[in-house]
Amino acid sequence: MKANKTLHLNKNTRAQVGIGTLIIFIAMVLVAAVAAAVLIQTSGTLQQKAQSTGKQATQEVSSNLMVKTIEGVRAKDSSTVMSSTIDLLKLKVGLNVGSSPVDVNQVVISITDGTTANNLVYAGNTKSYATTGQDNGDMDNFGSTASTNLQYLLTANTTASSTFNNSDHYYTVEKIRDEDSSFSQSNPVMNTGDLITVYIATTSDTAVSGTYDYLGSTTVTSGLKTSGLNLVPRTTVNIVLTPESGAATTADFVAPSSYGVKETVQLYP
């Protein structure tokens, strides 16, 4: 006969309680703490970068200028004696719906007639044409009155890093609608709903040699300065407004086949 076999389960209640076990436990806690700290720091950095990128992306798609109309003005002595070229452009500019505020002081305007191209900055910008280390880049005699600034734009020079005509380096502005009074010549910040007129000199050599007395409502008896542009009839003109952030705005037009006896010519749209 086979002997009966009985299985017994021994209970071992002893555990590892030595100094080695304590060291291993502390090491595991430290590793977990370091890993958690790295994850928290990384997630925080990624969050900050994501917020910054999102803010920049929002500015890029929301800070948009909109050119509503463009009028051309001819220099004149009288209602019958006028220049054969468009010598001043008046751009009516606003902001698209939902746009962020735009600092006009940082907007660069490029204009070309197919032969000459001018890159223009705001007349109150102190940096773009400044002598190295100085803040003398704004238009000489720039002040708080829009009409006076326009007169200097058309008839004067500026001495900064060099001496140049104002008409081929600057543009000036004048507010039309500014409900919150945020826009001024020294602080030209546009908010949603604001509307301004941007003046771009396009005085031709022909107009300069014609010694005209008036350009729109501006007296220019002291003499027009050439912009290098020549906006005769049928000229194709391209204008690009580039803000500090946001998409550039383009306005193209072809001058009429004849200006006739009109002092002011509608050019765009």
Cβ burial 141-179 (10 Å sphere, 16+ → b, else e)? ebeeebeebbbbbbbbebebeeeebbbbbbbbbbbeebe
Rg of the Cα trace of the chain? 34
pLDDT at 88: 98
- Asked whether the beta carbons of 111 and 117 are under 8 A apart, the reply is yes
pTM of the model: 0.79
- Within a domain: 4: no
Closest of 171, 141, 173 to residue 158, by C-alpha = 141
- Within a domain: 33: yes
Is the domain of 165 the same as that of 252? yes
Is the domain of 207 the same as that of 74? yes
Is the domain of 111 the same as that of 240? yes
136 burial type by CB count under 10 A (0-12 exposed, 13-18 middle, 19+ buried) = middle
Is the domain of 26 the same as that of 74? no
DSSP letter for 104, please.
G
Size (the chain), residues:
269
| Domain, as residue range, for 215 | 63-268
Is the domain of 137 the same as that of 176? yes
- Residues 185 and 179: their CA atoms lie apart, in Å, by 16
- Within a domain: 8: no
- Within a domain: 57: no
Is the domain of 219 the same as that of 141? yes
- Asked whether the beta carbons of 56 and 67 are under 8 A apart, the reply is no
Is the domain of 144 the same as that of 218? yes
- Within a domain: 54: no
Total count of domains within the chain? 2
pLDDT at 89: 98
- Within a domain: 3: no
- Within a domain: 198: yes
pLDDT at 59: 47
Is the domain of 29 the same as that of 121? no
pLDDT at 12: 61
Helix H segments across the chain?
Answer: 19-62, 146-155, 205-209
**CA dist 86 → 37, 130, 131, 202, 254 (Å):** 67, 30, 33, 7, 12
pLDDT at 181: 87
- Within a domain: 9: no
* Other Cβ atoms within 10 Å of 254 Cβ, number: 12
Is the domain of 18 the same as that of 85? no
Is the domain of 155 the same as that of 196? yes
Is the domain of 196 the same as that of 76? yes
* pLDDT tens per residue across all 269 residues of the chain: 555 666 666 666 565 556 777 778 788 888 888 888 888 888 777 777 666 555 555 444 545 899 999 999 999 999 889 999 999 999 999 998 878 889 999 999 999 999 999 999 999 999 999 998 899 999 999 999 999 999 999 999 999 999 999 999 999 999 999 988 889 999 999 998 999 999 999 999 999 999 999 999 999 999 999 999 999 999 999 999 999 888 899 999 999 999 999 999 999 99
Torsion of CA 96, 97, 102, 107, to 10 degrees: -10
Is the domain of 144 the same as that of 117? yes
pLDDT at 242: 94
pLDDT at 7: 62
